């Protein structure tokens, strides 16, 4: 039986339990999947206990995506995550947690058919790092709009093929093929107020609030938009496959999980 949960703090808003439960129902797999409010300070002790309690795996959200790298006694990291310094998935393998990023693979699929020669990423946290890892080599130029300049060094290490540059949050978004917003609620509101042109494609990773001011403004000006449900579903597809050890057709499962996610936004 699958025993899994999403970990983070705060966590009450998470739609991951609804998506995962529906996925395992479709697959006909016995499973439990909950939400556990877990701070960084308590995470290491929790994971030590979890290895002895027959857990299958965990989804990670803030603030654990980056903090988890201090817990190397309990966790092995896939090579790409060592470069990214961000993970959103833990699953048990040979008596130890293996850390992966289905945010990265989710971004790869989600953005596969979108023009992305010039990309702007708002923010520099764990989700921004996953987006950069997914786009490295796919985009020629990737510019970051950062609230905290100190994040630029870690981001530079991820980019092996694309040219990256760093700016403040007042950087104009005009001229980009794709804009990805990864900052917390409210952090992009001033950017939304400054836009009076069409962004070809905006990907907003938040689903609460929904829509964000940036997403609503971009839509009103004719942008193609992807939102937090789109990314949440895409990364969940890979987590479900890892936790269930099953391969399945992505398209019908995507449709089913999108339906669940959209219903919760009403």
Q: Which parts of the chain sit beneath pLDDT 70?
A: none
| Residues ≥6 apart with Cβ < 8 Å to 161 | 136, 137
Q: Whole-angstrom Cα distance, residue 70 to residue 103?
A: 20
Tell me phi and psi for residue 265, to 5 degrees.
Answer: -85, -10
Which pLDDT value is given to residue 244?
Answer: 97
Residue 170 has a CB neighbour count (10 Å cut-off) of 9
Contact in structure between 257 and 229 (CB atoms under 8 Å): no
Active site residue 65: yes
* Encoded tokens for 132: 């950069």
pLDDT at residue 19, rounded to an integer: 98
Catalytic residue among 3, 65, 116, 217: 65
Question: How far apart, in whole angstroms, are the C-alpha atoms of residue 75 and residue 171?
Answer: 38
Of 74, 75, 63, 121, give the one whose Cα is nearest residue 100: 75
The tens digit of pLDDT for each residue in 79-130 reads 999 999 999 999 998 888 999 999 999 999 999 999 999 999 999 999 999 9
- CA gap 46, 97 in Å, rounded: 12
Domains along the chain with CATH numbers: 2-100+230-265 (3.40.50.10860), 105-226 (3.40.50.720)
Residue 7, beta-bridge partner list: 36, 60
Q: What are phi and psi of 8, to 5 degrees?
A: 165, 180
């Amino acid at each position: 039986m699958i025993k899994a949960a999403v970990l983070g703090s705060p966590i009450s808003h998470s739609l991951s339990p609804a998506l995962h439960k529906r996925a395992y129902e479709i697959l006909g797999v016995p499973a439990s999947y909950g939400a556990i409010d877990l701070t960084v300070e308590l995470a290491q002790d929790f994971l030590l206990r979890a290895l002895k309690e027959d857990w299958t795996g965990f989804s990670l959200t803030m603030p654990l995506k980056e903090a988890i790298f201090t817990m190397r006694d309990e966790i092995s990291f896939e090579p790409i995550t060592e470069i990214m310094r961000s993970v959103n998935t833990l699953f048990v393998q040979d008596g130890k947690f293996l850390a992966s990023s289905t945010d990265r693979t989710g971004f790869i699929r989600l953005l596969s058919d979108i023009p992305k020669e010039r990309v702007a990423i708002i923010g520099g946290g764990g989700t921004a790092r996953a987006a950069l890892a997914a786009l490295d080599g796919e985009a020629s130029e990737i510019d970051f709009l950062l609230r905290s300049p100190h994040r630029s060094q870690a981001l530079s290490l991820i980019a092996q093929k694309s040219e990256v540059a760093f700016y403040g949050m007042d950087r104009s978004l005009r001229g980009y093929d794709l804009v990805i917003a990864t900052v917390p609620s409210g952090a992009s509101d001033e950017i939304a107020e400054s836009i009076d042109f069409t962004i070809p494609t905006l990907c907003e990773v938040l689903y609460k609030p929904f829509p964000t001011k940036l997403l609503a403004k971009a839509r009103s000006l004719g942008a193609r938009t992807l939102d937090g449900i789109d990314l949440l579903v895409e990364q969940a597809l890979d987590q479900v496959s890892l936790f269930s050890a099953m391969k399945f057709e992505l398209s019908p499962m995507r449709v089913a999980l999108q339906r669940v996610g959209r219903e919760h936004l009403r």
